[in-house]
């Protein structure tokens, strides 16, 4: 099995203290997820963000509803948090979110390490559609974040 890594950075012209709370509110995950995934958080709000927090949601992957359980394993506001999948479509999912104050605003970082189930079939699925689907999800996220917080010229 091959570990896959997806990394993205985005600079927004807002201070760290204005940006971090948006991402530290799990309910906002629905806003930054493409509508076709049908993201529905089923853990009753409010969901307190902290190390050890658990929340459940349903997503539709290629039209099939799937339950996903997330655990926050590291929470260091306003600089970082890590979520891992306990239950869901991946054999392994580890998503590190970073937030760095810069002279232009806040640099957002995402690093997702993931493994697919089913060995060689998972590798084929990754090549055929999983990689492209994840890139599409993060491209959508980028647009919503830019609409929410603005963009820094030259850093699209």
Q: Note the pLDDT of residue 156.
A: 64
> Residue 59 domain-assigned?
yes
Measured CA to CA, the distance from residue 49 to residue 77 in angstroms comes to 10
Q: Residue 64: give its domain's CATH number.
A: 3.30.530.20
Domains identified in the chain, total number: 1
Mean pLDDT in consecutive groups of 10 residues from the start of the chain, 156 residues: 92 97 95 95 94 96 92 98 97 98 97 92 85 96 97 80
Under 8 Å between Cβ of 72 and 23: no
Measured CA to CA, the distance from residue 129 to residue 116 in angstroms comes to 12
Q: Note the pLDDT of residue 62.
A: 82
> Residue 155 domain-assigned?
no
Q: Note the pLDDT of residue 105.
A: 97
Helix H or strand E encompassing 120: helix 119-125
> Residue 70 domain-assigned?
yes
> Residue 154 domain-assigned?
no
Q: How far from chain centre, in Å, is Cα 153?
A: 24
Domain that holds residue 81: 4-149
- Can you give the pTM of this predicted structure? 0.94
């Amino acid at each position: 099995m091959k570990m896959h890594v997806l990394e993205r950075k985005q600079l927004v012209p807002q201070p760290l203290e204005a940006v971090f709370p948006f991402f530290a509110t799990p309910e906002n995950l629905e806003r930054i997820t493409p509508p076709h995934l049908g993201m529905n958080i089923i853990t009753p709000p409010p969901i307190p963000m902290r190390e050890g927090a658990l929340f459940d949601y349903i997503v539709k992957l290629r039209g099939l509803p799937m339950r996903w359980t997330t655990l926050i394993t590291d929470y260091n506001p306003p600089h970082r948090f890590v979520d891992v999948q306990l239950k869901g479509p991946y054999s392994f999912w580890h998503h590190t979110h970073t937030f760095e104050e810069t002279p232009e605003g806040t640099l957002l970082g995402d690093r997702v390490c993931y493994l697919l189930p089913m060995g060689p079939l998972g590798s084929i699925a990754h090549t055929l559609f999983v990689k492209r689907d994840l890139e599409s999800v993060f491209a959508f996220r980028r647009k919503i974040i830019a609409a929410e917080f603005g963009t820094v010229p030259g850093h699209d």
